[in-house]
Amino acid sequence: MLDKNKKPTTCHSDPGFALGRHITIEYYDCASYVLLDKNGVESILLRAARESGAKIVSSSFHQFEPQGVSGVVIIAESHFTVHAWP
C-alpha cells in the first residue's frame, strides 16, 4: 500500500469505544407476505430508524420479480439495509 493512502488512526483510552455497530441478522420461517410487500418493508425500516432516534436522510427500495425486496434507509449516522427473498 502506498504511504499516501494510509489514514491516520486515533487510539482511545476506552477499550469499549466504537463509532457504531454492524449487526447482521438472518431470519428464517418468516411470513412471506410481509417480505413480498416493498412498501411494507420500507415502512418497517423507516419506523425502526425513527424509533432508534436516527436522523433519516433518504430511503430507496426495489421489488424484484418474481419475488424479493432490497432496500436502504440512509441515516445521518450510517444506514439500515434489508435483502429479503422469501
- The structural domain count of the chain equals 1
In a domain, 58, yes or no: yes
Backbone angles phi, psi at 41, to 5 degrees: -65, -40
In a domain, 13, yes or no: no
CATH code at position 38 = 3.60.90.10
Domain interval for residue 66: 31-86
What is the pTM for the complete model shown? 0.72
Say whether pLDDT at 1 is over 60: no
In a domain, 14, yes or no: no
Q: What is the Cα–Cα distance from 57 to 66, expressed in whole angstroms?
A: 30
In a domain, 18, yes or no: no
In a domain, 39, yes or no: yes
The predicted structure's pLDDT at residue 37: 93
Higher local confidence (pLDDT), 5 or 63: 63
Sequence-distant (6+) residues with CB within 8 A of 56 are: 46, 49, 50, 73, 74, 75
The pLDDT tens digits of the residues spanning 32-79 come to: 888 889 999 999 999 999 999 999 999 999 999 999 999 999 999 899
In a domain, 11, yes or no: no
Task: Detail the DSSP E strand segments found in 1-86.
Answer: 56-63, 69-75, 78-84
The pLDDT tens digits of the residues spanning 7-41 come to: 555 666 777 777 777 888 888 888 888 888 999 99
